[in-house]
Structure 1
Amino acid sequence: MEKKTTCTARGISGKLSFDSTPHASLCNDDAHQAGSFHFKPALPVDEQIDHLVEQGIVVENRQFAEFCLLTSNYYRLRGYWMTFEEDGAIRAGTRFEDIWAIHEFDREVRLWLWKLIERVEIKARTQFAYVLSNEFGADAHLQAELFFNEKNHKQSLGIIEDEIGRAKNQNMPCVIHNLNKYGELPLWAAVEVMSMGVVSALYGNLRQDAKADEHEKAAADEIASVFGVSRRYLVSWLRHLTMVRNICAHHNRFYNRLLKSLPLMLRRDKRYAGNREFPTFVVLSRIYEKSWPSVWQQAIDELDAIVARYPNVSLKPMGFPEDWRDVLGLSAEAEVSEMKNFNKRKSLTAKRIGKTLVGIRAHEQSISERPKKAGDE
């Protein structure tokens, strides 16, 4: 099925022609000197589906598969069917619909994570600006003596300058106002253009002994205490959640992914440590238990509903234990309440259907009992 092609220069126009030889190149002498390369040809969607079938994936509805492949790139979906591979081959009976279900489940989970991490990001920005500006002044982020790694600090400031430039080009009001008035942004304005990665890097780079004379705690410890943990946990958690946030922001696959930046787990959560996804959910639960407990209960209910919508998607590749609901704090009352609500909705639906049927039968009976007019048969 694969068509081997290569390109050759045609005259001086730079236009390319194709032949059947297997030596592809950039079509110039420099390319030949640097070494040639050969890309596979792009496949139309019907041939992509044929290729899926050849690999052992069951495609029951080609029209549905075509819709999906024109919605989500073949190579994107490739990451999802790795879950069904054993010894380099697709597990027998793997359906395209099962692969697509994981893709959709992953999309919903990423959106759920994005919403949860947003609160953490804004709170981290806020606390970083509040504590440092009150203890060390409006330009605390510029004071190199507060940070233990000078090179990393300069790198962070360079990124901030780039972000300020972009915000200025977009006429961001707080940026324009402060630049016109002071020529620089105070920390409480600067954090509004900082990415979560920059805030995380600056916080992780704070000197452990950086504190104002009138304060008992170091600035880094004060910020961490607001999150209910010590500095070393918050440094790790912000770094980890920044990575997860970026995965979600770029719509990359989160399901069944080996994560590189691993969060430091609390002692009670050590057994859940690992390079899979479940530790992310545990970290969020510990942050929300302290900062937004009522919001977390609603969020975990939403996560449970997402899982329920995809009963054929396994959570094991994400490192979820069997008792994940208990670990994340989904209360038994919430589960019972959800079941009651489901049964209530089911009962109300049955009653509505029953009333509708009674109405239809009554209408039919009234028609049948009407006296026939002349000409009626």
Structure 2
Amino acid sequence: MTDDRAGGTSDSCGNPPAIPFSPFPESYGSLVGKLADEGFLDALTPGVPFALQRVNYRHFLPYLNTVKSSMPGSPTVKMAHDLLAFDRRFCSVVFKYIGAFELQLRAQYAHWMETLHGDFALYDDRLFLREGKHAESLARYEKEVSHCKDRFIQRVLAENGGRLPIAMGIERMTLGTLSQLYSNTADREVSAAIADFFGTSKAELSNWTKTITAVRNVCAHFEPYVVRKGIPSSPLKIKGIEYSNRETFYIVLLLCKLLTPKLVFMDLNLCYSYRLYEDLLVTISGVAGPFEDILLMARIPEDWELLLDAATNGTISIGNDFVRKMQDRPRGQRIDTRSR
């Protein structure tokens, strides 16, 4: 699957399922026997056919392999299923905040291109560095717009010779197309203003958006993520962060970096990076303690909170301090909510 896709179906969905969809657990006997032969201690328990009825064996396999290699001599199918369930929860958090980033990037790109170059800037190849790349992106964009059957959109297209004003068209655009258009934008004022909004350079934002798009597609198709060997694409390192940029967890650091506003408002609903942290805290805390092995197999760093704090320039610490003040204040007492 290429990193410019943000819709459609998985590349692998043309393959037939490895197991039949049957309501009868006994039809899974061969798989149960295979798991028993491979050393899974609970292979012959009732929970295993229950799990196999609900997860395609081919989809389950990366989790089974991870557990088997991490727990030699004592792997269980239940542990693999718990790891899969954690992956789904982790990816739901990541996908949620990729959506928040995508909305912000759309807003910024539409604003600056429209302000400096007009409603139909996307169609002007002079505004882009590589004409061939622009033609490819424009063709993809026009295909995406053509899928919209909204009557108002169709009327605007007809009135403007098949073109949409950027403020409307950008809402029909996939993140992959938007990423390509931004990286190919020639106007340095446009690209610099957008990069500055996210606190990065154009090179960083272009590179990180490519990685975010690739991860988005993995999450959107419910493909295994935390058990991958590494993050899709090759993100540039975040300055000042001592953590491997090849790890799957790196996507969280990228999102925290990009979603941290320059001004930290004490209405934490306005700070998406802090909300990401809170959602991730719930997800990770849910498997801490007796399920600590899940976090090790998912390669969640022990110091993940410190890494997020570094990626957000201390925003996590500021947010936690504010939450503690809110919890400790006398009932009815107001607290200063001005930006710090």
Q: In 1, Cα distance between the equivalents of 2:45 and 2:32?
A: 7
Q: In 2, Cα distance between the equivalents of 1:105 and 1:41?
A: 23
- Mapping for residues 122-201 of structure 1, pairs under 5 Å: 122-167=103-148, 171-183=149-161, 184-201=163-180
Deviation at 1:90, TM superposition (A): 7.1
1:228 aligns with 2:199: yes
Q: Deviations over 1:185-205 (max 9, x none)?
A: 111111111100000011011
Deviation at 1:299, TM superposition (A): 2.6
State the match for 1:57 in structure 2. 40
Q: Deviations over 1:291-342 (max 9, x none)?
A: 776333233122122112223244345554321112213549859x89xx9x
CA contact (8 A) 2:128 2:134 kept: yes
Deviation at 1:123, TM superposition (A): 0.9
State the match for 2:6 in structure 1. none
Q: 1:40 to 1:294 in 2, by over 3 A?
A: closer
Q: 1:297 to 1:153 in 2, by over 3 A?
A: same
Aligned-residue identity in percent? 23
Q: In 1, Cα distance between the equivalents of 2:271 and 2:109?
A: 24
Q: In 2, Cα distance between the equivalents of 1:332 and 1:188?
A: 35
Q: In 1, Cα distance between the equivalents of 2:121 and 2:158?
A: 20
State the match for 1:315 in structure 2. 295
Q: How many residues align?
A: 287
- Mapping for residues 290-305 of structure 1, pairs under 5 Å: 290=261, 294-305=271-282
**Considering only CA atoms, is the larger Rg found in Structure 1 or Structure 2?**
1
CA contact (8 A) 1:272 1:278 kept: no
Deviation at 1:107, TM superposition (A): 0.3
Q: 1:277 to 1:174 in 2, by over 3 A?
A: farther
1:92 aligns with 2:92: no
Where relative contact order (Cα < 8 A, 6+ residues apart) is larger, the structure is 2
List runs of 5+ in structure 1 lacking aligned partners. 1-38, 212-217, 342-377
**TM-score (normalizing by structure 2):** 0.77
SS at match of 2:111: helix
Q: Which amino acid aligns with 1:264?
A: L
Deviation at 1:101, TM superposition (A): 0.4
Q: Deviations over 1:240-280 (max 9, x none)?
A: 111111111111111121223122122211x2133211211
State the match for 1:327 in structure 2. 307
Task: Choose the corresponding residue for 1:206, options 166, 185, 196.
Answer: 185
Alpha-carbon RMSD? 2.8
Q: In 2, Cα distance between the equivalents of 1:237 and 1:173?
A: 35
CA contact (8 A) 1:262 1:275 kept: yes
Q: 1:332 to 1:156 in 2, by over 3 A?
A: closer
Q: 1:173 to 1:111 in 2, by over 3 A?
A: farther
Q: In 2, Cα distance between the equivalents of 1:306 and 1:192?
A: 30
CA contact (8 A) 2:97 2:272 kept: no
Q: In 2, Cα distance between the equivalents of 1:185 and 1:289?
A: 31
State the match for 1:253 in structure 2. 224
List runs of 5+ in structure 2 lacking aligned partners. 1-15, 21-26, 263-268, 310-315, 328-340
Q: In 2, Cα distance between the equivalents of 1:289 and 1:302?
A: 15
CA contact (8 A) 2:28 2:49 kept: yes
Q: Deviations over 1:182-231 (max 9, x none)?
A: 23111111111110000001101112xx25xxxxxx21111111111111
State the match for 2:252 in structure 1. 281
CA contact (8 A) 1:55 1:90 kept: no
Q: In 1, Cα distance between the equivalents of 2:240 and 2:56?
A: 41
SS at match of 1:62: coil
Q: 1:121 to 1:186 in 2, by over 3 A?
A: same
Q: 1:320 to 1:309 in 2, by over 3 A?
A: closer
